[in-house]
Structure formats: C-alpha cells, structure tokens
Amino acid sequence: MSTSTQADVNITKYLSANKERFMNELFDLLRIPSVSADSKFKADVQRTAEFLKEKLIAAGADKVEVCPTAGHPIVYGEKMVDPSWPTILVYGHYDVQPADPYELWNSPPFEPVIKDGKIYARGACDDKGQMYMHVKAFEALMANDSLSCNVKFMIEGEEEIGSDNLEIFVKNNKEKLKADMVLISDTSIISNETPSITVGLRGLSYLEVEVTGPNRDLHSGAYGGAVANPINVLCQMIASLHDENNRITIPGFYEKVQEMTEAYRKQLNESPFNLDEYKKELDIADVRGEKGYTTLERTGIRPTLDVNGIWGGYTGEGAKTVLPSKAFAKISMRLVPDQDNKEITELFTKHFKAIAPKSVKVEVRPHHGGQPAVVPTDSVEYRAASLAFEEAWGKTPVPTRDGGSIPIVSLFQKELGLNSVLLGFGLDTDAIHSPNENFGVFNFYKGIETIILFHKHYAACKK
Ligand code: BES
Ligand code: MN
Ligand code: MN
C-alpha cells in the first residue's frame, strides 16, 4: 500500500475545490446533442469536438487538434513530458446514441439533471461522463505538477456507428499514436460495493435483411393464403435461427468459439451475481438463453443472435387489410474469441439465403461490426489498474467479461500492438442506449480519483 505524499494531498484538495466546476463542465458537454447516427446533428457533433479541444487546451495539453475525417472528427491532444516515461493513450468517444423515444424520458435527454445522486442525460455514462473523467484527471495532475506518465488523447465521434474512420486514422497515424498502452473508460463495474475490471468484450456482426414477396401490397383477403406474406416468412426464418436449446442454427457458427475450461467457468461464476435481483430489476419472470450456461456465461463467453428491429406492412392507427410486399429486420450477433465478424456475416448471409422459400426474395446488407477482445490479466497494465482500484475503493477489483462491444480494442492490438485497460465505472443499471440514461455522481468523482491513481501506479510499475 502506498503512503500519501504531499502531492497526493494537494490533488485531493484540488479535486474537492473544483468539484462543482467539473460537474458544470460535464453538464455543458451533455447539453450538446452529439448523436453520430443522425445527420441532423452533424453541426452539434462538430461543436462537441471543438468543446473538447478547448477543454484539453485549458487542462494543459499540447498539439490539440480537431482532426477531420470522412465522417465526424477525432479530437487529439498530448502531453509528452519525458521520453523515458511510459505513455498512456486515452481513448474515449464523445458521440452518443439517438435519444429516441423521447417521450419515455422523465426529463429531456439533453438537459442534464441530478436526481437521487445520479446524473440523467443521454451520454451521461456512455461515454461523455466516463471520457470526461480523463480530461479532469489530467487537469488535476497538470495543475499539481504531478504527471508521471506521458499522455495522449484520442477521442472519437463515431463509436456508436462503428468507428470506420477511426480505423483509417489509426492505420495512418501509427507514429503519432505510439504509446505503451491504451486506457479506456467505457465499460461497467459489477457494483459500487464490488469494483471490477473488464477483461473481455464481445465482437459484433450487425446486418439488415429484406424479404420481398409480391411486387406490390395486396388485399389480404383476395390474395391471403395463396401468396407468400414476407412478414410471415421472415418471422419463420428468424425463429428457425435458434433451436430448442437456444443454440444458433447457422452452420459453422460455433466452429471457432473458444470453449472455456471448467476452472475458468467456475471462476467467472464466482463473481457476485444475484439472479433474483436481476430478474426483479428487469421485471421478468425468468431468464432465457443457451442451455447449459449461466447468465454470466451467456453474456460473457457465449455468442448470441438478436433481432434489434422488425418492420413491414401496416402499423398505423386502426386496421388495414394488407398482404405486404416487403418485410425488414435488423439483426445483431455478439461474438466471442476466436470468431471473426466478417466470417460470421458471411455464414449468416449464406444460411439466410439458403433457408428462404422460393416464394420470396431475400437480401442481406451488412452494417458495421467488430472483433471480440480479451485483455491479459498478467500484465503491468492490469496490475496498475488493480492497485488503483484497491487504493481508491479499498477493494481488489474482480476481472469480468462484458457482453458489449468496443471494436477498437482489437484494432489497437492489431495495428498498434497495444493492450487496453478497460477502466470503466458505469453500472448495468445506468440505462445506456435507453431512455433515462444516468451515471452516478459518486462514480464520476470516484472515477477521476481512480484514473489519477492509475497514472501513479502505472509509472511506478513500469520502473
Ligand atoms: N460503451 C459501449 C460498449 C459497452 C457497453 C461495453 C456496456 C461494455 C458494457 C459502446 O459505446 C457501445 O455501445 N458499443 C456498441 C458497438 C458499436 C459498434 C455500435 C455495442 O456494444 O452495441
Ligand atoms: Mn461507449
Ligand atoms: Mn454505446
């Protein structure tokens, strides 16, 4: 256990003296609707990048720039103090998911408020709140002359739409991005009583399917029963993608899945998890998933397939008797090591076309995807993260596998040869991507402290 130095005391004082300003700045950031998926918000996305640029400069970063891409810009900034120090590359995203449906929010998504110790706004947790902790941690270290690592910031505006342009940026800027590791706060912990470090993320294959029946909408009485209804057919096709054990029926789908050892599964299942509370919180009478696996395994180490949206025909008020011409669905598959997202997209496409009856035409259009990622726990980086949690939270963090995806993690590994530390501070109950997204005020401040301690321990561990 490290003892506190004068510098630690100064930082603690600085954090408490600037607490309110930090929160006010986060509120300003949350007020800008930086929805990357919707071109209507393009100017707001740009404005968010400019906002961050200013804040990085104010915190003391050099070479701060808003780097244009074919899509939304990437904000870069750095503080290179000493080439003999280790360099941390901080990655985060300033874009957010669409806030729809607005009517389900208890307060407007881009008018942040604090209620019961939680900050409510779109992006409060994912990822503005978490990303901004790094800017404030850096500011506090700079202001107290306590930086112990070089720092580079790379904050993108397209994470929620697949990071396509970041991939190009990373490939073209390998020298600029040279570092010893990547530090990311964009995941969650088990609970505030049980801090954890994410060591695995699932990959993703996301696509859209279109099923076409007759060349126009038909009268469902005049033609019903004689011509294929593309919605009926699509539902049957989708239903056939799982068998009675809830395993996915696409041939070859599980071929590359790494089966975990019994010892690993046992360890994973030792993480605190209460199935009754889980069900209660979601208001469901039972869970459902692949036979033979626990809930933690189903989201952590097993691949899945889900329909994210389905539409077609008449959905307006009242009734319209129609046999529609077309039906659509958006489908996501979450992947685990060593599945490859491009291969899985191909397997799906081939299978989906193969099971289509002759009475319809099927088109499959891939969207974005990403590879699964696993980060080592026997590394200097993990040790520093563990020590930071121990000092800030008084508890040794538990390694966990999250079900979500951050495609860029595997890209950093492949293109830059860098391991990431997923130092997240969200909670599963933060409702990311949902109405009433929130982030604990406690988590925001505790996260800043933990990040500062990570810098300290990482520098010490690297010596
Ligand atoms: N921060 C999330 C990923 C996440 C959420 C990881 C919860 C761990 C726990 C990220 O912003 C996200 O939403 N990713 C997308 C994938 C992306 C390609 C759109 C996802 O997981 O759906
Ligand atoms: Mn995120
Ligand atoms: Mn997200």
Using the atom order of ligand 1, give the atom closest to the CA of residue 202: 21
Ligand 1 pocket test, pick from 94, 131, 159 with the greatest ligand atom count within 8 Å of Cβ, gives 159
The reply to whether 62 and 208 lie within a common domain is no
For tokens 């202001």, the residue is: 143
Which runs of E-coded beta strand occur in 61-129? 62-67, 74-79, 87-93, 113-115, 118-120
Query: Which of 370, 398, 424 is the C-terminal boundary of a domain?
Result: 370
240 Cα to the center of ligand 2, angstroms:
32
Summarize pLDDT for 297-318 with one digit per residue, the tens.
999 999 999 999 999 999 999 9
pLDDT of residue 5: 85
According to DSSP, the β-strands at 150-156 and 87-93 are parallel
pLDDT of residue 4: 73
pLDDT of residue 152: 98
The reply to whether 385 and 341 lie within a common domain is no
State both tokens at 142: 């700079």
The reply to whether 102 and 223 lie within a common domain is no
33 Cα to the center of ligand 3, angstroms:
14
What mean pLDDT do residues 34-43 have? 97
Query: Which of 370, 394, 422 is the C-terminal boundary of a domain?
Result: 370
| Ligand closest in space to the Cα of 373 | 1
406 Cα to the center of ligand 1, angstroms:
5
The reply to whether 361 and 377 lie within a common domain is no
Using the atom order of ligand 1, give the atom closest to the CA of residue 332: 22
Residue 320 maps to which CATH number? 3.30.70.360
Using the atom order of ligand 1, give the atom closest to the CA of residue 369: 18
The reply to whether 167 and 120 lie within a common domain is yes
Summarize pLDDT for 198-211 with one digit per residue, the tens.
999 999 999 999 99
pLDDT of residue 373: 96
The reply to whether 355 and 433 lie within a common domain is no
Query: Which of 316, 349, 370 is the C-terminal boundary of a domain?
Result: 370
The reply to whether 11 and 131 lie within a common domain is yes
441 Cα to the center of ligand 2, angstroms:
18
User: Could you give the percent of the chain with pLDDT greater than 90?
Assistant: 97
DSSP states of 170-218:
HHH-TTTT--SEEEE--SB-S-SSS-EEEEEE-EEEEEEEEEE-SSS-B
Ligand 1 pocket: which residues have CB below 6 Å?
Answer: 126-127, 159-160, 162, 186-188, 201, 204, 368, 370, 402, 404-407
Per the domain annotation, does 12 fall within a domain? Answer: yes
Q: Which domain holds residue 251?
A: 204-257+303-370
Ligand 1 pocket test, pick from 95, 160, 201 with the greatest ligand atom count within 8 Å of Cβ, gives 160
Summarize pLDDT for 47-92 with one digit per residue, the tens.
999 999 999 999 999 999 999 999 999 999 999 999 999 999 999 9
What mean pLDDT, rounded, does the chain reach? 96
Residue 181 maps to which CATH number? 3.40.630.10
Cα 211 versus chain centre, distance:
30
pLDDT at 271 over 50: yes
Using the atom order of ligand 1, give the atom closest to the CA of residue 188: 9
237 Cα to the center of ligand 2, angstroms:
32
pLDDT of residue 97: 97
User: Could you give the percent of the chain with pLDDT greater than 70?
Assistant: 99
CB 43 within 8 A of CB 28: no
| Ligand closest in space to the Cα of 404 | 1
Structurally, how many domains does the chain consist of?
2
pLDDT of residue 1: 46
pLDDT at 2 over 60: no
DSSP states of 370-397:
E--EE--SSSHHHHHHHHHHHHHHSSPP
What mean pLDDT do residues 1-11 have? 78
pLDDT of residue 249: 98
pLDDT of residue 3: 58
Per the domain annotation, does 291 fall within a domain? Answer: no
The reply to whether 194 and 213 lie within a common domain is no
Q: What is the spatial distance between Cα 149 and Cα 147, in angstroms, rounded to a whole number? A: 6
State both tokens at 260: 């975990």
Q: What is the pTM of this model?
A: 0.93
pLDDT of residue 134: 98
pLDDT at 322 over 60: yes
423 Cα to the center of ligand 1, angstroms:
14
pLDDT at 184 over 90: yes
Summarize pLDDT for 216-258 with one digit per residue, the tens.
999 999 999 999 999 999 999 999 999 999 999 999 999 999 9
405 Cα to the center of ligand 1, angstroms:
4
